[in-house]
Structure 1
Amino acid sequence: MTKLLLATRNAKKLGELRRILSAEGISGIEVLGLADVPEFPEAPETAPDFEGNAVAKARDAVAATGLPAIADDSGLAVDALNGMPGVLSARWSGRHGDDEANLDLVLGQLGDVPDERRGAQFVCAAALVLASGEETVVRGEWRGSLVRARRGTNGFGYDPIFQPDGESRTSAEMEPAEKDALSHRGRALRALLPALRELA
């Protein structure tokens, strides 16, 4: 059984990767999270783009554990905010990971923006780094628009205000398996499947 470290403490991200591997019939890989390995110093996310942050996190994880590692960096790029919050999505309100404050700030910033100009996309860059130094970096995007009030309780982050193109629901109103099939992170992780099959 090959151990694969997903460099996150987010249980929902771990569940997502496990579901995708299972749905693709890839066995022989045990997905671990940061809580399953000895703690190591995690460098701050300082790259100007998602890809840079993802690769840096995956390299740190491999160096600390010797395990092949996947790391992702993802966020929301809002058209009317010139692509922001972007790489700052998790700390847009000034406090890292405060979903409620981040949502309130984005909704407030878009208060006067008409519906037809509320386009946005979720972006995810994922990096797979092997102990050999081999690196695979991929990107997934999910277009949609931002609704004016939170709807739904599934998902996390900006999911309650993101309505994917062609959908009447927000991504927080979708079932986890549905979201996996469409989401930016699901798309990025599936782009890593050829490399993960080799690993298995």
Structure 2
Amino acid sequence: MEQLIIATKNKGKVEDFRNLFLKYNITIKSLLDFDESIPDIEETGETFEENAALKAETIAERFSLPVLADDSGLEVDALDGRPGIYSARYAGLEKSDQANIDKLLEELKTIPEEERTARFVCVLAVARPGKPTLFKRGTCEGRVADQPTGENGFGYDPVFYPKGSTKTMAEMTPEEKNQISHRKNAMKQLEEWLQKL
């Protein structure tokens, strides 16, 4: 594998993956590198795996190149795993981190602290022409806070305490967060696979 497309327009995410693949001499491109506009792929799957595969396989077919896509979100045990695959649009189609957090905290307001266990999930899908799609799943266990704190990060970071931490993800530096994040854990598994290639 000499070239890989990362199915995202998020520069931060691209940089993370570029750093990972650098030592394997794999050239990384993202959707930002293509002149033609690639329409957003509708996430119609019922699992993180299905949504990641939809994105990776659609773009791999279009360019006949290997493609990596991810899907991630927050699963809360007391809410039967919600918001899950709907994490980014939990409060409605108009994506708003604050509205999503408000809805989550409202739904958990009667749930005691010890029952607010949750995890961030990240699933990476690598689609390669003519080969089965590869999946790697990473998680970060923790619990949901009763109010947001911290200015860093995005999404549900201000209300998520990783297990064993007294800081929310939004109170951590990017370096601290990257040591324990669900994406980092999925990338570790991907790296093990790359080493065997």
What is the TM-score of this pair, normalised by structure 1?
Answer: 0.89
CA shift digits 1:123-144 (9 cap, x unpaired): 1111111233342111111110
Residues 21 and 27 of structure 1 are in contact (CA less than 8 Å); yes or no, is this contact kept in structure 2? yes
Structure 2: give runs of 5+ residues left out of the alignment: none
Instruction: Report the Cα offset of residue 64 of structure 1.
Output: 1.7
Instruction: Report the Cα offset of residue 71 of structure 1.
Output: 0.5
1:7 matched to which residue of 2? 7
Residues 16 and 180 of structure 1 are in contact (CA less than 8 Å); yes or no, is this contact kept in structure 2? no
DSSP-derived class of the 1:140 partner: strand
Distance 2:88 2:64 in 1: 28
Structure 1: give runs of 5+ residues left out of the alignment: none
2:71 matched to which residue of 1? 73
DSSP-derived class of the 2:106 partner: helix
Amino acid at match of 1:56: L
Structure 1, 71-80 or 109-118: larger mean CA deviation: 109-118
- Counting only pairs closer than 5 Å after superposition, residues 52-131 of structure 1 correspond to structure 2 as 52-131=50-129
CA shift digits 1:79-129 (9 cap, x unpaired): 111100001111100125311111111111112211111111111111111
Instruction: Report the Cα offset of residue 154 of structure 1.
Output: 2.1
1:16 matched to which residue of 2? 16
- Counting only pairs closer than 5 Å after superposition, residues 21-40 of structure 1 correspond to structure 2 as 21=21, 26-37=23-34, 38-40=36-38
Amino acid at match of 1:13: K
Instruction: Report the Cα offset of residue 28 of structure 1.
Output: 1.6
Report how many aligned residue pairs link the two structures.
Answer: 196
Distance 2:98 2:80 in 1: 22
Distance 1:163 1:21 in 2: 29
Instruction: Report the Cα offset of residue 21 of structure 1.
Output: 4.0
Instruction: Report the Cα offset of residue 9 of structure 1.
Output: 1.7
Residues 21 and 28 of structure 2 are in contact (CA less than 8 Å); yes or no, is this contact kept in structure 1? no
State percent identity of aligned pairs.
41
Distance 1:65 1:198 in 2: 25
CA RMSD of aligned residues (A): 2.0
- Counting only pairs closer than 5 Å after superposition, residues 158-173 of structure 1 correspond to structure 2 as 158-173=156-171
Distance 1:95 1:102 in 2: 11
Residues 20 and 190 of structure 1 are in contact (CA less than 8 Å); yes or no, is this contact kept in structure 2? no
Residues 1:19 and 1:168: Cα distance change in structure 2 (over 3 Å): farther
Instruction: Report the Cα offset of residue 149 of structure 1.
Output: 1.8
Amino acid at match of 1:17: F
Amino acid at match of 1:110: L
Distance 2:159 2:73 in 1: 13
DSSP-derived class of the 2:124 partner: strand
Residues 48 and 72 of structure 2 are in contact (CA less than 8 Å); yes or no, is this contact kept in structure 1? yes
Residues 76 and 122 of structure 1 are in contact (CA less than 8 Å); yes or no, is this contact kept in structure 2? yes
Instruction: Report the Cα offset of residue 68 of structure 1.
Output: 1.3
Residues 61 and 69 of structure 1 are in contact (CA less than 8 Å); yes or no, is this contact kept in structure 2? yes
DSSP-derived class of the 2:146 partner: coil
